[in-house]
């Protein structure tokens, strides 16, 4: 599973009306990360509209990437209590923090748009996704999904595919989902499979780790780190196709896997 990001620009200050919404979101989120569930379907238009609402209403407190409040990351779906889309809507429209945060009324399209944008991982061109149960996702990762047969997590597992120990910090939910259902679209160039033939007639298959003008480094099929001088190679073929093929798991199972991957935040 391989994976790249996006930026948004703060465009305006908040009016008093919009300030209350931003603060409401601020109090409703923060603290520990929990699995979120996108249980509504959103259109691309809603996500794009939501990006504009977010920049105008929320970015002053939460930042363009939703990560300026300590312990909170809206882009990566780190909330305190909200799990479902209805939870998010309820916090915004019903108030929070024991009445210290007043209820706020948004037009339905504004409310849906903000939630859609958050669920899409702050990608206005993306799609809102479902994030399921992390416990079920871990079982899928280690079992039916066969992810653990290639990927390493916190020191356990092979090195033939990228290490996923901190993938929940590095990638958005939308990119994680895409890496399973459309891996070719998220394949990073540095992680492409390679086939090398040396002057000694050795054929080596592996995953590229690093490359410069004169050398290339890779992990071979035996999980050994290899380094080659390009001048010593008979051929060097770089695949544009991912080793990982689109998953055959169901939508609910993919959601559970995304939920598990988001919990991978490195050794803590």
Q: What is the CA radius of gyration of the chain?
A: 21
Residues 250 and 156 in one domain: yes
pLDDT value for 111: 83
pLDDT value for 22: 43
Strand arrangement, sheet containing 193-198: 225-229, 215-220, 203-211, 193-198, 233-238
Domain boundary among 73, 91, 119: 119
Q: Give the CA distances from residue 183 to residues 1, 100, 174, 220, 265, in Å, rounded to whole numbers and listed in that order.
A: 7, 45, 12, 21, 22
pLDDT value for 230: 94
**CATH number of the structural domain spanning residue 230:** 2.30.30.100
Residues 115 and 139 in one domain: no
Residues 24 and 80 in one domain: yes
Residue 210 lies in a domain: yes
* Among 1, 105, 125, 146, CA closest to 51: 125
Residues in a beta bridge with 207: 193, 219
Whether pTM > 0.85 for this model: the answer is: no
pLDDT value for 69: 63
Residues 152 and 198 in one domain: no
Residues 251 and 230 in one domain: no
Q: pLDDT truncated to tens, each residue of the chain (268 aa)?
A: 433 333 333 233 334 444 344 444 443 433 333 334 555 667 778 888 888 887 877 777 667 887 876 666 777 777 767 777 788 788 777 766 566 545 667 788 988 888 888 777 887 766 667 778 889 999 999 999 999 998 999 999 998 888 999 998 788 777 888 889 888 877 777 788 899 999 999 999 999 988 899 999 999 988 899 999 999 999 999 887 777 788 999 988 998 998 899 888 876 5
With the C-alpha atoms ordered 52, 53, 56, 58, is the resulting torsion angle positive or negative? Answer: negative
Residues 37 and 106 in one domain: yes
Residues 257 and 233 in one domain: no
Residue 177 · residue 253 · CB < 8 Å = no
Q: How many Å apart are CA 260 and CA 268, to the nearest integer?
A: 16
The CA angle 157-158-159, to the nearest 5 degrees, is 130
Residue 9 lies in a domain: no
pLDDT value for 41: 64
Domain encompassing residue 206: 193-238
**CATH number of the structural domain spanning residue 171:** 1.10.760.10
Q: How many Å apart are CA 92 and CA 240, to the nearest integer?
A: 44
Residues 176 and 67 in one domain: no
Residue 7 lies in a domain: no
Q: Where are the alpha helices (DSSP H) in the chain?
A: 16-28, 44-57, 59-62, 85-94, 108-119, 134-142, 167-170, 173-181, 183-186, 251-261
Residues 83 and 174 in one domain: no
């Amino acid at each position: 599973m391989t994976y790249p990001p996006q930026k948004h620009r703060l465009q305006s200050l908040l009016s008093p009306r919009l300030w209350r919404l931003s603060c409401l979101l601020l109090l409703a989120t923060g603290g520990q990360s929990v699995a979120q569930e996108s249980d509504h379907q959103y259109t691309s238009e809603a996500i794009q509209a939501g990006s504009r609402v977010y920049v105008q209403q929320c970015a002053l407190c939460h930042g363009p990437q939703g990560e300026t409040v300590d312990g909170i990351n809206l882009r990566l779906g780190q909330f305190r209590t909200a799990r479902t889309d209805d939870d998010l809507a309820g916090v915004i429209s019903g108030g929070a923090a024991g009445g210290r945060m007043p209820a706020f009324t948004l037009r339905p399209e504004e409310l849906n748009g903000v939630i859609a944008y958050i669920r899409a991982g702050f990608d206005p061109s993306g799609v809102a996704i479902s994030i399921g149960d992390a416990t079920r996702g871990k079982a899928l990762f280690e079992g039916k999904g066969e992810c653990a047969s290639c990927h390493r997590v916190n020191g356990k597992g092979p090195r033939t595919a990228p290490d996923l120990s901190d993938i929940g910090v590095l990638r958005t939910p939308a990119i994680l989902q895409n890496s399973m259902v459309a891996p070719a679209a998220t394949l990073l160039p540095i992680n492409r499979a390679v086939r090398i033939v040396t002057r000694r007639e050795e054929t080596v298959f592996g995953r590229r780790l690093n490359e410069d003008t004169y050398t290339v480094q890779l992990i071979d099929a035996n999980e050994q780190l290899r380094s080659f001088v390009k001048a010593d190679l008979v051929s060097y073929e770089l695949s544009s196709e991912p080793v990982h093929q689109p998953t055959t798991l169901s939508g609910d199972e993919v959601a559970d896997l995304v939920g598990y991957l988001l919990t991978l935040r490195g050794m803590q």
